[in-house]
Amino acid sequence: MSEQQAPTRDLPVLFLPDVVILPGMVVPVELDLDEGAARAAVDAARTTTDGELLVAPRLDDRYATYGVVARVEQVGRFGSSRPAAVLRAVRRARIGSGVPGPGAALWVEATDAPRSEVTERVRELVKDYRSLVIADLQRREAWQVVDQFSAMSDPEAIADTAGWAAYLSNERKRELLETPDLEARLERLVEWTREHHAEAEVSDRIGAEVREGMEKTQREYLLRQQLAAIRKELGEGEPDGADDYRSRVETLVATDGFPSAVAEALEREVDKLERSSDQNPETSWIRTWLDTVLELPWTTRTIDTSDVAAARAVLDADHHGLEDVKDRIVEFLAVRARRAQRGLELVGGRGSGAVLLLAGPPGVGKTSLGESVARALGRDFVRVALGGVRDEAEVRGHRRTYVGALPGRIVRAVKEAGSMNPVVLLDEVDKVGADARGDVSSALLEVLDPAQNHTFRDHYLELDLDLSDVLFIATANVVEQIPGPLLDRMELITLDGYTEDDKVAIARDYLVPRQLERAALGAEEVVVTDDALRELAANHTREAGVRQLERLLAKAFRRAATRLAEGASDPVTVDAAALRDLVGRARFTPDSHERTSVPGVATGLAVTGLGGDVLFVEAGALPEGSSGLSLTGQLGEVMKESAQIALTFVRSHAEDLGLSEAAVRVLDHPVHVHVPAGAIPKDGPSAGITMVTALASLATGRPVRGEVAMTGEVSLTGKVMPIGGLKQKLLAAQRAGITEVYVPARNEPDLDDVPAEVLEALTVHLVSDVRDVVAGALAPAAPAAGEADVRREGAAA
């Protein structure tokens, strides 16, 4: 600041309550303010030589320390005839103590604020502030003010123009008034103006978006009106309006049997549509809902065939075997026909639908059976794939409040079928999932429960949909993966796979004609012998179904087509000798005799998701110092417990099993039990007697007979407990070349489901004590005791 002594004068003071005046401003002031104090101050100023007075803001807690020296430019009246004076603020002044003076005005000492030195920093701040103010004025298109502001050169005057800034509050303006240092004032102004610019940019952007949205709405409205006029000139139909929907609803409601609750809901939605404008987004939602509900076949039902024999003929023509399923469908048809004859289509408000579960390994015809059932009944067919579905809304639909909401798959299936009593195939119901979006299996409970699916309520429709006439056929590979409550609502029909004779018949009657057609071959061009089919089924595939068999036939026919294209003579004969050239070498040969040729290996039977299979349990004795029992082969907890039980039983009942003291000493060593293949997880208790037999074979040095397999759970007392999947296990035993099988005696009723040709090929022993299994499965002891000891010591090593 300048070091000159600033002059001090006695001036009348005027305190203004709602305004802050900075130097350079010209403002009008009403003279009626503050009970005449304003008039007294102006009158006192006019008596002075320069006509000046001190103007300062009125504060609630103290007197202001700074004000402005203002000159009275004019005294007169406002347009409202109220007295006023026009004041021009000249310079900043510090307010001193009060002094006596003439008139009624309050007089104070006023010391002019010294002018600040213009430094390089001040020039930079002035430049920044000037550019910010000009940018703000240009944004508001105040071009005349821009010119006036640009012409200013005095830094003090440029800083004091902030008194006109509407974005600065009175508190900030008072802070500027009380800051005599120019550099400090400019720093505050630059900071505050930048904040204002940031806020203004956000405000402008929001305003632009709002204006753009309004313009878009207005443009869409104009375009829609023009489109309507063009359609009218072209004679094209308008999109369905409320009147069109009302006429459609009235026509549908007049149909016999249309649900009254659905009619009321449709009328309510049409009323909403009439009250809504085309610009309302809810209008499109209402139209979509009305279209969905109106397209459902509320009163449409197909008539089932009443010829039971013809229906059975259709099923037999499409599929070989599967007698249980065919019998159940024929029973369903017979009962439905009798209910129709006696007027009992609805009993307790429910139709005569059914929920069947076809469970079995892949490739046995579960999925294709659904379409065959629909054709036999004369119903519409629709397939719903559930594999991998994890969202509950896929079954029950989305709430209408969501954007893009749709009904669930069940409603869409009924809509696609076009009738209220279709055959709906729920494919892979055991592979549905659950996550944060809900549990699909729980959502299926209402759909598949005959006691409540006559009032199924989809989230999107919010209407009762009668599914009691629908024939649901669900398919699954592993029943254990289906939750208990859902499994309880379905009638389980197990498809355990085909015998070798079944596969040959299926290949001859179904697969060969289909693959010949796909390869564009005629029956006179390729001849397939039954021996070739039997060889393919026995030694080239090891499956419960026939998918791999069909792939091999397709490969053979492609090779045959290639030979014919190369000029081979007709016909190409596919027999057992030609299979190696057409499909390659046989991949599966019976190896039970080879695997069990050494002591400590027994053949067991198991059930997997791919059907029945054979497994081998291997046992070996370890040197001293190792752990008690080692288990490998990715065994589950239940199977590990079975191994513990087997080892405990053999050690504690050595005498009952006919084990010598030398044999018992073998089991006193640490034992290692392994179940190949190691990459496949295994679990379950049915390998219990197999483990007992393997350990007994290890101890005695007597191998298990190669033609023998076994399955059954064992208890600590040696009792053989029942198991599941007996039919699939016996089918697997036959495929593997086994001729003798030990099964629990309590599974004897399950033998009724096993095909007769399988029972003829196998010798089935029903046992209730594992001692009988060990006695019958082990090979006879070698005649020379010394030879047996050597063999046993080699196995232990």
**C-alpha distances in Å from residue 320, one per residue of 213, 325, 365, 506, 553:** 66, 11, 9, 6, 18
Active site residue 686: yes
Check whether 366 is labelled as a binding-site residue.
yes
Check whether 503 is labelled as a binding-site residue.
no
DSSP 277: -
Considering the candidates 503, 682, 727, 729, report the single residue annotated as catalytic.
729
- Strand 671-674 vs strand 611-621: parallel, antiparallel, or unpaired? antiparallel
Residue in this structure with the two tokens 């179940």, named with its chain if needed: 675
Which token pair is 530? Answer: 């039954």
How many other CB atoms are there within 10 angstroms of residue 580's CB atom? 11
Quick one: three-class SS letters along 564-626? HHCCCCCCEEECCCCHHHHHCCCCCCCCHHHHCCCCCEEEEEEEECCEEEEEEEEEEECCCCC
Q: Contact at 8 Å (CB) between 694 and 459?
A: no
Q: Contact at 8 Å (CB) between 316 and 376?
A: no
Determine the Cα–Cα distance for residues 436 and 534; give it in Å rounded to an integer: 50
Check whether 604 is labelled as a binding-site residue.
no
Residue in this structure with the two tokens 């072209």, named with its chain if needed: 234
Burial 20-43 (b: 16+ CB within 10 A, else e): bbbbbbeeebebebbeebbbbbbb
Check whether 367 is labelled as a binding-site residue.
yes
Residue in this structure with the two tokens 């003071």, named with its chain if needed: 13
DSSP 307-325: -HHHHHHHHHHH-SS-HHH
Question: Following CA atoms 377, 546, 683, 620 in sequence, which dihedral angle do they give, to the nearest 10 degrees?
Answer: 160
Which token pair is 45? Answer: 């100023």
The residue among 550, 525, 530 whose CA lies nearest residue 540 is 550
Determine the Cα–Cα distance for residues 636 and 647; give it in Å rounded to an integer: 17
Determine the Cα–Cα distance for residues 481 and 110; give it in Å rounded to an integer: 95
Active site residue 729: yes
Check whether 351 is labelled as a binding-site residue.
no
Considering the candidates 441, 686, 697, 727, report the single residue annotated as catalytic.
686
Determine the Cα–Cα distance for residues 647 and 657; give it in Å rounded to an integer: 13
Check whether 361 is labelled as a binding-site residue.
yes
The one-letter code for the residue type at 214 is M
Determine the Cα–Cα distance for residues 367 and 348; give it in Å rounded to an integer: 32
Check whether 676 is labelled as a binding-site residue.
no
Give strand pairing partners of 427: 385
Check whether 259 is labelled as a binding-site residue.
no
Q: Contact at 8 Å (CB) between 452 and 502?
A: no
Side-chain half-sphere CA neighbours of 1 within 13 A: 13
Going by C-beta distance under 8 Å and a sequence separation of 6 or more, which residues neighbour residue 405? 285, 397, 398, 399, 460
Determine the Cα–Cα distance for residues 479 and 477; give it in Å rounded to an integer: 6
Determine the Cα–Cα distance for residues 730 and 710; give it in Å rounded to an integer: 10
- Strand 456-457 vs strand 354-359: parallel, antiparallel, or unpaired? unpaired
Q: Which residues are annotated as a binding site?
A: 360-367
Residues with a catalytic annotation lie at 686, 729
Q: Which residues are annotated as a binding site for ATP?
A: 360-367
